[in-house]
Chains A and B, each alone.
Chain A
Amino acid sequence: MSANNDKPLILIIDDEEALRDGCRQVLEKSGYEVITAAQGAEGIKMARERVPDMVFVDLKMPNMSGMEIMEILSKDIPDTILVMITGYASIVSAVEAMQKGAYDYLPKPFSPDQLRVLTKRGLEHRTLRLEAKKLKEEKDLMQKNFITFVSHEMRSPLVVVRQYFETLKEIAADKFDNDIKEIMERCSKRLENLEELVEHWLDISRIENGTFAQRKEAVMLSSVIKRAIEEMAPVCRKRKITVEADVPDNLPAVKGDEESLVRVFTNLIGNASKYTPEEGKIKISVEKDDYYIRINVTDTGCGIPADKLPFVFEPFFRVKGKEERDKGSGLGLAFCKKIMESHHGRIEMSSREGEGTTCLLTFPVEVETGK
């Protein structure tokens, strides 16, 4: 909109004086403000200064072609509606103009009515486009704010309560009898799970929202697996589960985000350890060919019933273990799936009840194209 009043501002760039004047008369009578330029450079300068709502540009101009002007304007003032005034029967140019950013074309000779109708339609289109853009920005902002809101408002009380539990454990260890200590321990564990759930849910929301920061670097899967095993070592030790890894050092690099991939593996090892009895084993093995790297994480646990297997990646789906220790967030596998997808890979689960479960991760290898 022109800065001073509510009238839409139209710019006409045409070397023909008669055309400029004619258009000005018609459009001013319709209540628009009109400015004109006789050649490209002047037109571009005016467009940049006044930022009109709509610009008409003649295709055939002596110094700078209408096409060139169109290209520049579509970059400089992207929200402005651009119309190419074309000569008689130059449809090819009209199409090219549209590809370069024109909203429509107006073939000469045209009547005042045709000019009015096109202008009205163009301005309406502009209004709609701006509204849609604003709505999308609002929606994105709301989603971001929602995630920020959840991340602070939900986490803060959880952190506080857990801190108090830590304090209780420390200062009252000798004052409380075992039943009370047991209750406190269980509450603490449930809170930890709740925190984990919030974290996972936040991550998944961020992945969907596009704000989950993921790098695209060369990642060595051998070091990812090594880190994950190290991180989970205390947990596995406590549950008396051994982890074996058969990972060659010369695996080709995979393009992605090392941190997320480490979390995928810690999730899988954690799951395996929850459903595997003491003295059990978790084995990580790797196969590769020219296009894929396949990693298997196998446990000797209780397995997943065949009728539950198709649902394991669904959010909040949990297979009830025989012991209800460590209820997970139910989102771990959903998270792993999203991460694998964003790495253009796959995750699949197979299992035999009473024998164990295998999780297969497939990564595409960076294919060298030689040249």
Chain B
Amino acid sequence: MTIKKKILLIDDDKDFLFATKLILEKGGYEVFLAEDGKSGVEMWKSITPDLAIIDMMMETWGEGFSVLNKIRATEAGKNTPLFMLSAVDLQGPYGSFEPPPEFPKVNRVLHKPIKADELLRIVAQEIGEK
């Protein structure tokens, strides 16, 4: 019996959570959902998933960063795989995401909408096959 790898999705967009969960489940992963930063961090602590995917902008601009910081601040979270999601707005007020050098580590930055095959490939690369 193979134990499924766990993935936690943190995003306030319910549609995005639903759509992405289905893709990842098809890929053989067990998926957990959190709809805001606070419950995202709590869930991360209680589940300690193999991978967490965090949306950059939730209720407020940059809330994703605060989630990232909190997870990285924990002992278990120092080196855990974390992906950031952005809805590309390259010319808009938020510009494109370029983490400053002293920023906590982000393993990957993904842009919505994510192609299903690309997502599965990148996740497999990061945490191994189902």
Contacts and interface: CB of A to CB of B under 8 A. Distances in A.
Contacts of A148: 92-93
Contacts of A159: 87, 112-113
Interface in A204-222: 206, 212-213
A203 B92 CA distance: 10
Contacts of B80: none
Contacts of B89: 151, 155
Interface of B: 13, 15-16, 19-20, 22-23, 26, 87, 89, 91-93, 112-117, 120
A160 interface: yes
Contacts of A170: 22-23, 26, 116-117, 120
Most chain B CB atoms below 10 A, which of A163, A203, A206? A163
Interface string A154-187: 0110011011101101110000000000000000
A194 interface: no
Nearest to A157: B15
B91 A206 contact: yes
B97 to A, nearest CB: 15
Interface of A: 148, 151, 155-156, 159-160, 162-164, 166-167, 169-171, 202-203, 206, 212-213
Contacts of B26: 170-171
Contacts of A213: 91
A156 B114 contact: no
Contact of A160 (B16, B91, B116, B120): B16
Contact of B13 (A160, A162, A202, A203): A160
18 contacts: A148-B93, A155-B87, A159-B87, A159-B112, A160-B13, A163-B16, A163-B19, A163-B20, A163-B112, A163-B113, A164-B15, A164-B19, A166-B23, A167-B22, A170-B22, A170-B120, A202-B91, A203-B91
A310 to B, nearest CB: 30
Contact of B22 (A160, A171, A202, A206): A171
A206 B92 CA distance: 9
A143 to B, nearest CB: 14
The 4 A-B pairs of least Cβ separation, nearest first, read: A170-B116, A163-B113, A162-B113, A167-B19
Nearest to A211: B91
Contacts of B114: 163, 166
A223 to B, nearest CB: 19
A167 B112 contact: no
Given A156-B87, A171-B23, 10 more contacts: A148-B93, A151-B89, A151-B92, A155-B87, A164-B19, A166-B113, A170-B23, A170-B117, A171-B26, A202-B91
Contacts of B112: 159, 163
Contacts of B13: 160
A334 B20 CA distance: 36
Nearest to A188: B113
Nearest to A166: B116
A166 B92 contact: no
